[in-house]
Chain A
Amino acid sequence: MAQLIVDNVTKEFPTRDDPLVVLQGISFQLQSGGNLAVIGPSGSGKTTLLNLLGALERPTSGSITLDGRDPSGLSEKDAAAFRSETIGFVFQDHHLLPQCSVLENVLVPTIAAGQTQPEDVEHARHLLDRVGLSDRLDHRPAELSGGQRQRTAIARALVRRPALVLADEPTGNLDRTTAGQVADLLLELQADENTMLIVVTHSTTLAERMQRRKLLDNGRLQEAD
């Protein structure tokens, strides 16, 4: 069973004067099948935390261990491989490649792995079926609605069967109904795939649907309830 252990993580950014401390003493754990919402006001460091968890940035101190591996000490090449193998991303803006079809967009992460296997294609089709886009496989992003694009992005995040899915305001650009549908899908698929899910959001509606909720305020993480 995969496990995420965040231990006393601090993140500082250098400024002209003293370093700006964005995150301070962040610690928590998460198991496979578990999910967590991180909420907090703008500028509280939510996205920075997500970037640290996603190995897009390195913590100033502390450690983040996913499935027994700490990516902070990895080279750029290994960090990229680590992300490819263990982490899936869903962003507020879907970031789909406009020149690729829906199916191709979902399969893009498999290119990073070096070779796309037939089972990857099958899995991508399965995920797209699960998100209700089986009849849109060859469509371009420009031909999809906002909700459909975000559902494609969710399928893309899961195609490599990651241990951890990180979602940054996944419903931020959607209307209430669509946002609800996308949230449902996200949670269903997380359960199906038995992966960990961390959602950074302003939306209390979305946060309330998570098993756990934490509030990030002034760089410190505390229980939201």
Chain B
Amino acid sequence: MSKLQFVFASLVHYGRTNLAVAFGVMAATAVLTGALLVGDSMQGSLRDLTLDRLGRIDQAVVSQTFFDAQLCDKTEGSSDFQKYFDAAVPAIVLDASFENTALDPPRRANRVTLIGCDERISALGPGGPAEPIASGQIVINRELAKDLKLEDEGADIMLRLPRITSIPADSPLGRKDETIESSRVKVAEIIPSEGLGRFNMRPGQAVPTVAFVPLAWLQDRLEQAGKVNAIFVTGLDPSQAAPLEADAVLPAVLAPQPADLGLSIAETKLGYFNVTSRQMMLSVPVESELLRTIGDRTVQPALTYLANAVAVGDREVPYSTVAAVDFSDSPPLGPFADPDGKSLAPLGDGEICLNSWAAQDLKAKVGDVVRVRYFRPESTDGAIEETEVELKLAAIAQLAGAAADPGFTPEVEGVTDQLSINDWDPPFPFDARAIRDQDETYWDEHRATPKAFVSLATGRKLWGSRFGETTSLRVVPKEGESLEQFTSSLSLKPEVFGFRFQPLKRQGLAASKGATPFDVLFLAFSFFVIIAAVMLVLLLFRLGIEQRAESIGLLQAVGLNRRTIAGLLAMEGLVVAALAAAAGIGLGVGYAALMLLGLRTLWLAAVVTPFLILHVDASSLLVGYACGVALCFAAILWALWRSRQTSIARLLGGQFDDEAIGFKKPWAWTRWLAPAMILVAIAVAVTTRGLREEVRAGAFFGAGALVLTAGLLAIRRRLRAQATGPAVAPGRGNLLRLTLRNAARNPGRSTLSIGLIASTCFLIVAISAFHFDPALQKPRIDSGNGGFALVAETDQPIYYDVNSDDGRFDLGFSDDDSDLLAQTTTYGLRVQAGDHATCLNLYQPRQPRIFGLPKALIERGGFSWASSAAKTPEEKANPWLLLGKPAEADTDGTPCLPVVLDMNTAVYALHLTSGVGQTYDVTDDQGRTVRLRVVGLLNNSILQGNLLITEEALLKHFPQVTGRRFFLIESDDDRTDAVEAAWNRTLGDFGLKVETSGARLSAFLAIQNTYLLTFQSVGGLGLLLGTFGLAAVQLRNVLERRRELALLRAVGFRRSTLGLTVLLENALLLGAGLVCGVVAAAVALLPHLMAGHAAVPVQSLALMLLTIFVVGLLASLFAVRATLRAPLVAALRGQ
């Protein structure tokens, strides 16, 4: 007989035992494979979703400014384009809000992606509008229809759009009111939320709300005839992203004209080319880019600003433009001459030059003090502030030549295009009564020609802002150069002008890897199931080899050495493991399907949308198989190694264990070990209060582990000392005493069983305590809600201060609402749009939203902090102050901006696992990298998902951000509902969403709570498997004791009484495990319970533990059954 034959003969003969081991292996492999498949399915489903929502779209060009739609055709015609792409489709993409006014109260839907498109949209993929959309009609997706409670097509709904303005609203010439454009549209079609029907530029698994309107109609409504703000580019293969080198194609072939970039270039009468911006100001990066491309031509930057008044003494000229320019001597930019024809010297700092008209009107002479009144160049919360500067009149310029140039002043809609000053419709406070006849005459003759000049440096100091410090670049053409030649010679980088080239498909597919590694998460969730399964394998395999102890002894007795026998058993174990693991893979697919079903139903909150479908990756099956076999085979080898010492005589006697032979006195010092560990645990729990979150988490598990170990040590010590009281004593209760003594028969085995149950129980209890509902939490300054009762967000920025009476008046609040809001305090935050980075989004975000925090909020402080870089007492009391201090530069010298963010966002969305001190790069308005350094992490806060920096820093790097779109509202409890209603009543048109901070936190914590629930459920499964392990131990005990049990029956014990002793013993071990686990969890939780961070759901927990106890007892019925069926006579005869 060969060894292989022997192994197969044993496999068959001990088929039942091997089958039991195989079940353990299958369970371990199934759980391992299943966890990996859950990860695969998550990534696969996210990928499917990405491909579905993008259709054929591969890349997109999105611009902050509207550009000529024909740019699309030019781009499409390029051969480079055709090499990688198929079609370019122009569109307008905006965030809009809708209202179904037919309902009372009206239903509102915010943050809807509105796409203005023509018939070319069908090239982007399936799922879009089926037919061309008629003017004034709209096609919406099912999700939007659901939000608006629209059942049927044909209904009218209200569409609210942002009014497109060129000049930033935060500058005096920018419009702060009438920023919303409303239109009534008819719903032509409700399309399924699939394909383009769930189009979203930003990755997210939640079903977005999408609407389509005719491009021409939208252009008309926005007063952007022939213009678009986006181009969608389709790829050649919709199932994958275009290759990396294709990313360079669009920036290269897209050739926007200056007008597309918001620039105006005009040839002036004086012969120079005047480069101005539709935004009035040329931003610093735009100016740099222009200067770069203009090259060696002579350029004269100028900054022209509107003075409310220029005064000398008691005389003043109203509403005059003042140009900041460094005088040039030669044409066409000069010369600037005094009334005598002499060239003017350059103006110094604090000096002003009036033109001859103004000097005459003011009766001013050189040396006079000229007062210039003007609005500050940046307004905050709609508050336009007038200020005055005194300048020395250094010269008077002839109103002729270069000084009589209206080209200094850029076109401002509603101002420079008006025939009369009285017709001005400026967005700033304007006093038409101040206009005199001579002013109108000047306007008629010279339009907006500056009446005064200052040096460029002086002008920039007075009127430079985050929007720029130049209004025009005055370029001297090259010899014979025409305007067309000049314009075509400019090679401007569109990125600088706010064009964004986005490889949507590649980014989406990359983001599909997910923010959370679900395979790792579910492996962690399944950890205890895997451990329990492996322990089961260990126990069952050992049980198997113990069953054949005599055979093993015989093999040794007839001359086979231990190594050979172990080899034979190992080979048998390996065959069992290999075969069972193969079956386990199949079960693993089922386990994954079950987990996904859970994520689509019971644990839906963890993934927000039921989008997950099973994806089976061969590599995961292979890894699961290999790990399953390896783990279980290791357990088998361990079982073999443990049994190596048993003597042949004992083996022949059918025995393996030596532990139960007699009493072992424990070492004296071990008496103090358990109490010492408990003391250390308490010390750890107490001393780590208030420390960093990681430290407290470590302390939590450390204290729990210490108490658990102490409990187990104490139990083991008592069992080893047989200190369980007498087994028999006068009176009743001897059965229980005997049971206790039985448990002490094998202290190691009993302690191991208790430990397995206790450790799993500890985790389940501990985790359940962190499952809490923040909706029940009142606003408290040091909590996750920061003391704010309400949180509001708007789609469109709000430019007025809700805290001021004037601001509320300008926003349109009624008197009653205004009085109500006067009793609240609102902190408005600036928002730079970005990816959704809360835990509600499973995709990996590229760049989260950035919030600019106002100084008042920083000084107010508050929120619960997980950790911070605070050093001084002031910083420790209010870590927000760290945002205002310069952060430490990076190791390569790159300056860093301090940033605060929620710990969940840092760890799970952005993977900033090192926490405080770590850096994170974002891209600013001009495509430049800005490095942020984490100076603080918030704990479960309502600000989750956002990068929090100072308002000042935000505006520096994102100057185009205007107004405020995120609001934290302090309000008394009893007024919260009324305040919420007041906001909704008045600011609904802005796409307002206002909610209680509790509701917001609940939504965030639903994920965490669901993860905890998942962990608990899968942990419970592990605990159940552990109870089966315990039952296996009991079965083994019963088989070991079969002769003793037979003796007991011979001396008068009934079968049922013996069964009861086995059941009682199991109940004792189970109970001891549960008690140990609960006590350990209680000690570890004590500081958290005292601090109010945890709450034990007593009822549900008790039910779960009771279920486990009952299932454990039921599992032990196997052992009881074995006891009852044990052949009495045969056992007595040692057969």
Contacts and interface: CB of A to CB of B under 8 A. Distances in A.
A91 B662 contact: no
Contact of B1043 (A57, A85, A95, A113): A95
Interface string B932-945: 00000000000000
A76 B1054 CA distance: 7
A101 B662 CA distance: 10
A108 B1057 CA distance: 13
B730 A121 contact: yes
B734 interface: yes
A143 B1048 CA distance: 21
A140 interface: yes
B661 interface: yes
A150 B691 CA distance: 66
A156 interface: yes
A224 interface: no
A140 B727 CA distance: 12
Interface string A113-129: 11111101100000000
Contacts of A99: 660, 722, 727, 741-742, 744-745
B733 to A, nearest CB: 9
B1055 interface: yes
Interface string B647-673: 000000000000011110000000000
A74 B884 CA distance: 92
Given A100-B741, A104-B727, A118-B730, A83 B1051 contact: yes
Range class of the B interface residue count:
35 or more
Interface string B454-470: 00000000000000000
Nearest to A89: B1050
Given A85-B1052, A115-B731, A116-B734, A93 B726 contact: no
B735 A111 contact: yes
A135 B791 CA distance: 82
Interface in B656-702: 660-663
A93 B1047 CA distance: 10
A142 interface: yes
B729 interface: yes
A47 B1133 contact: yes
Interface string B1114-1135: 0000000000000011001110
Nearest to A107: B728
Interface in A78-119: 80-81, 83-85, 88-89, 91, 93, 95, 97-101, 103-104, 107-118
A112 B727 contact: no
A80 B727 CA distance: 21
Given A99-B745, A100-B741, A111-B738, A80 B1054 contact: yes
A56 interface: yes
Contact of B662 (A104, A118, A140): A140
B1053 A111 contact: yes
Contact of B727 (A93, A100, A113, A160): A100
A107 B730 CA distance: 10
A210 B418 CA distance: 140
Contacts of B1044: 95, 97-98
A76, A97, A107, A113 — most chain B CB neighbours (10 Å):
A97
Contacts of A140: 662-663
A76 B1055 contact: yes
Interface string B1019-1057: 000000000000000000000000110111111111111
A81 B1052 contact: yes
B207 to A, nearest CB: 64
A51 interface: yes
Contacts, number: 108
A77, A109, A111 — most chain B CB neighbours (10 Å):
A111
A88 B1051 CA distance: 7
Interface in A44-58: 47, 51, 54, 56-57
B563 interface: no
B885 interface: no
A109 B1051 contact: yes
B492 to A, nearest CB: 91
A91 B722 CA distance: 27
A100 B660 CA distance: 11
Interface string A145-165: 000000000001000100000
Interface residues of A, number: 43
B731 to A, nearest CB: 6
B13 interface: no
B860 interface: no
A91 B1130 CA distance: 13
Given A51-B1129, A99-B722, A116-B734, A142 B1051 contact: no
A98 B745 contact: yes
B433 interface: no
Given A80-B1052, A81-B1052, A113-B1052, A95 B1057 contact: no
B732 interface: yes
Interface in A149-193: 156, 160
A23 to B, nearest CB: 14
Nearest to A57: B1129
B1060 to A, nearest CB: 12
Interface in B1042-1095: 1043-1044, 1046-1057
Contacts of A81: 1052, 1054
A116 B1129 contact: no
A214 to B, nearest CB: 21
A120 B661 contact: no
Given A98-B661, A115-B732, A56 B1129 contact: yes
A97 B1048 CA distance: 9
Nearest to A138: B663
Contacts of A108: 728, 738, 1048, 1051
A51, A98, A108, A121 — most chain B CB neighbours (10 Å):
A108
Contacts of A109: 1051-1052
Contacts of B1054: 76-77, 80-81, 112
Given A98-B745, A107-B728, A118-B730, A112 B1053 contact: yes
Contacts of A54: 1050
Given A85-B1052, A99-B745, A142 B661 contact: yes
A54 B1129 CA distance: 11
B846 to A, nearest CB: 66
Nearest to A122: B730
B947 to A, nearest CB: 65
Interface in B157-200: none
Nearest to A143: B662
A113 B735 CA distance: 11
Given A56-B1129, A99-B722, A156 B1051 contact: yes
A167 B730 CA distance: 28
Contact of A112 (B722, B1048, B1129, B1134): B1048
A80 B1049 contact: yes
Contacts of B1051: 83-84, 88-89, 108-109, 112, 156, 160
Interface of A: 47, 51, 54, 56-57, 76-77, 80-81, 83-85, 88-89, 91, 93, 95, 97-101, 103-104, 107-118, 120-121, 140, 142-143, 156, 160
5 contacts: A76-B1055, A97-B1044, A109-B1051, A117-B730, A142-B661
Interface of B: 660-663, 722, 726-732, 734-735, 738, 741-742, 744-745, 1043-1044, 1046-1057, 1128-1129, 1132-1134
Given A88-B1051, A112-B1051, 9 more contacts: A80-B1053, A84-B1052, A91-B1047, A95-B1043, A98-B1044, A99-B741, A116-B730, A120-B730, A160-B1051
